[in-house]
Structure 1
Amino acid sequence: MGIFGGQFANVVEWEEYRDDILFWKWTNREIKKGSRLIIKQGQDAIFMYNGRVEGIFTDEGSFDIESDIIPFLSTLKGFKFGFNSGIRAEVLFINTKELTVKWGTKNAILIPAPGLPGGMPIRSFGTFNCKVTDPAVLIEKIAGVKKQFTIDDVKERVIAMLDQLMMKWISTEGKDMFNLQANSFEIAKGIREDLDMEMFKIGIGITGFNIASFSYPEEVQNMANKVASQSMIGDMGRYQQASVIEGMSKGDTAAGNMASNVAGMQMGMMMGQQLANQMNQGQQTGQGQQPAQPGQSQQEPGQSGQAAPPNFCPNCGTKTNGAKFCANCGTKLV
């Protein structure tokens, strides 16, 4: 018999594969004659014998272990045939795909801020990307004591470091404590580099880190909203104009009614101002007239005694241009 004795062949493959697992160990079973190794897309297979890495196989496909695999193993390739039983070896399957993980701060991070002795409590969330970059280191640091290593294990390690890194890079790049989102790219870039350096120690690479949002305490957020509202109300004229134009363009009934009300108020104010001006002019004219002397008529020769028409129509405010009737509404002026 060959190196693989026995009558029952094995299929060595990643059983019950899951995307969230970074490695899975096929172990404690004999590899027998006729056994095959199946490597699927996005996987590497690492043969281990007596705790030592014998060979790493990265090509996907189905391989006869005796003829396609054993000759390439550093220790077993020197064995001569003649064994009457199978060989016990471990095969470690590595997930080589890049995985995306959601993260979020469990507790508020106290970021040093001027005027706040305890710091500004900030929460944040986003995603990071990771993948196995050094299988040998991963095996040395992790695989020797675990049968599998999941993305939750990686996330736990990342979250444990995140608070300190967030404080570091917000203090470095967060030039405006109340506008952190504007600097989120630089903050995330610094965090990714530091995380990658730390996770590389166990063979994991952090290939991307994204901050989706920062959140402040409710009181601070309400104050920010109030300041934004006051700044908008500060120029009421522009706010009304924008509202009127938007309502007219969309055909919004409520906005249209508001536009009509605003226009009516402005028309009334204009007419009131015009009437006040006319009354003021009338008073000044009356005061400028001298009382008639005895024996003299108050009318100058050649005058008809008829009052001059007003400059503006008292009904609609249209300029009269000396006419006896308003050209707009038809009101008699004299």
Structure 2
Amino acid sequence: MGLFSGQFSNVVEWDEFREDMIFWKWSNKEIKKGSKLIIRPGQDAIFMFNGRIEGIFKDDGDYDIESQIIPFLSTLKGFKFGFNSGMRAEVLFVNTKEFQIRWGTRAPINIPNPQLPGGLPIRGNGTLTFKVNDYVALIDKIAGVKQSYCVEDVKERIVAVLDQLLMKWITKEGKDIFNLMANAYDISKGIKTDLDMELINTGMTIMNFTIGSFNYPENIQKMIEKNASHSMVGDVNRYSQISMVDGMTSGNMKGGGAASDMASMMMGMQMANQMMNNINQNNQNTASAPSSGAKPNFCPNCGAKTGEGNFCSNCGAKLV
């Protein structure tokens, strides 16, 4: 029997393992007497017979199929290995880790806008993660007809519907299309829910969906940046003054020396006027400021000691 065991010994393992592979099926082979099952970390092994799940094994390690696996299978507990026969079964190895996908819109998404008849073309990108969570659904919808399944297969399915979902959640509730990153969390949350419903019948679930950035056409992006700079400065007149000073100091002002001198003179006059206005405003504020109301102990006019009244009893000068 020692010769028999060596002759028919077999190893059931995921010998084509790839990090981007979601599952791989060990099939069309006969499990012989003395066969071993090897489960590596991050893998689950599912025994199937006639398309039906017989057992799921999740602990990594080496197992003797006859003594350690067969007794725990549902309908094959009474199976006995014969001298010239083995067991025809399939073993589905599943990668249990979370997979990450970098996504991006295939083409610009035209977001409706009343100011832009053709819509505003926007691109987006980011990442998402998913994992297998339902082995029954996975086998029923995918593994039953496929030998293996990779991340790229899932990415194709997701990208096919992603543009529509972005359009749906960007236009939902009238979001500001010129500042979409302010609403990125709500948009991501909605898309994650819809994508999860798209994949749930295949036995997979979306763990996380994030938006890295939204990209606008170059002319629109420049307009957004210009509006942002104006809002940061606050005073458009001051922004114009700063721009003029920058032009003179950098030497980029066109028109030669005369133009530069004229601009400098105008700038000086504007700054002088601004200073005079500030001084006049300060004087007005000082003049109109109410007095503190404190009454002196002695009259500032004649030096007589003051009493309870608001006028000096000696010379009649106003005290308050």
TM-score normalized by the length of structure 2: 0.71
Structure 1 residue 50, shift from structure 2 partner: 2.1
Give the alignment of 1:320-331 within 5 angstroms: none
**What's the secondary structure of 1:212's corresponding residue?**
strand
- Separation in structure 1 between the aligned mates of residue 241 and residue 157 of structure 2, nearest angstrom: 50
Aligned-partner residue type, residue 165 of structure 1 = L
- Residue 21 and residue 239 in structure 1: after superposition, are their counterparts in 2 closer, same or farther (change >3 A)? farther
Whether contact under 8 Å (2:105, 2:163) holds in the other structure is yes
Letter in 2 for 1:85: S
For residues 224 and 239 of structure 2, what CA distance do their matches in structure 1 show?
Answer: 23
Q: Could you say which residue in structure 1 is the equivalent of 2:220? A: 220
Which residue does 1:89 correspond to in 2? Answer: 89
Specify the SS of the correspondent of 1:120: strand
SS in 1 for 2:7: coil
Secondary structure of the corresponding residue to residue 183 of structure 1: helix
Q: SS at the partner of 1:205?
A: strand
SS for the counterpart of 1:56 is strand
Could you tell me which amino acid in structure 2 is paired with residue 64 of structure 1? D
The answer to whether the 8 A contact 1:112-1:120 is kept is: yes
Pairing 1:120-199 to 2, within 5 Å after superposition: 120-172=120-172, 175-199=175-199
Distance in structure 2 (CA, Å) of the matches to 1:184 and 1:53: 42
Q: How far 1:41 moved relative to its partner?
A: 1.2
| Identity score, percent | 61
Q: How far did 1:126 drift?
A: 0.1
* Structure 1 residue aligned with 2:305: none
Contact 2:230 2:239 in 1 (8 A): no
Amino acid in structure 2 at the alignment position of 1:86: G
| 2:26 aligned partner, one-letter code | W
Residue 54 of structure 2 is matched in structure 1 by 54
Match for residue 24 of structure 2? 24
Q: 1:157 to 1:132 in 2, by over 3 A?
A: same
Quote the Cα distance in structure 2 between the aligned partners of 1:22 and 1:36: 23
What is the alpha-carbon distance in structure 1 between the residues aligned to residue 240 and residue 67 of structure 2?
A: 82
Q: Secondary structure at the match of 1:107?
A: coil
- Structure 1: distance between partners of 2:191 and 2:32: 48
Deviations 1:117-139 (A, max 9, x none): 33221100000010001011101
- CA 1:174–1:20 in 2, change beyond 3 Å: closer, same or farther? farther
Kindly provide the amino acid, as one letter, of the partner of residue 238 in structure 2. M
Per the alignment, residue 72 of structure 1 pairs with 72
Offset at 1:219? 2.0
Distance of 1:74 and 1:19 partners within structure 2: 31
Q: Name the amino acid aligned to 1:148.
A: S
Check the 8 A contact 1:5/1:83 in 2, yes or no.
no
Name the aligned partner's letter for residue 168 of structure 1: K
CA distance in 2, matches of 1:218, 1:105: 17
1:86–1:237 Cα change, 3 Å = closer
Q: What do residues 69-107 of structure 1 show as CA deviations (whole Å, max 9, x unaligned)?
A: 111112221224545222221110001111111000011
Residue 105 of structure 2 corresponds to which residue in structure 1?
105
CA distance in 1: counterparts of 2:96 and 2:14, whole angstroms: 13
CA contact (8 A) 1:5 1:85 kept: no
Task: State whether residues 70 and 79 of structure 2, in contact with CA within 8 Å, keep that contact through their aligned partners in structure 1.
Answer: no
Amino acid at match of 1:52: R
Deviation of 1:266 after TM superposition, in Å, equals 6.7
Provide the aligned length of Structure 1 versus Structure 2: 253
Quote the offset at 1:184 in angstroms: 0.2
More displaced stretch, 90-99 vs 73-82: 73-82
SS in 2 for 1:7: helix
Instruction: Tell me, in whole angstroms, the C-alpha distance in 2 between the residues paired with 1:82 and 1:228.
Output: 80
SS at match of 1:78: coil
Cα 1:56/1:152, change in 2 over 3 Å:
same
- TM-score normalised by length of structure 1: 0.68
**C-alpha deviations, 1:250-285, integer Å up to 9, x for none?**
xxxx9xxxxxxx9xx979x86xx99xxxxxxxxxxx
CA drift at 1:239: 8.4
Q: Secondary structure at the residue paired with 1:178? A: coil
5+ residue gaps, structure 1: 245-253, 255-261, 275-334
Question: What's the CA shift for 1:59?
Answer: 1.2
The amino acid of 1:198's aligned partner reads: E
* 1:27–1:186 Cα change, 3 Å: same
Q: Which amino acid aligns with 2:113?
A: A
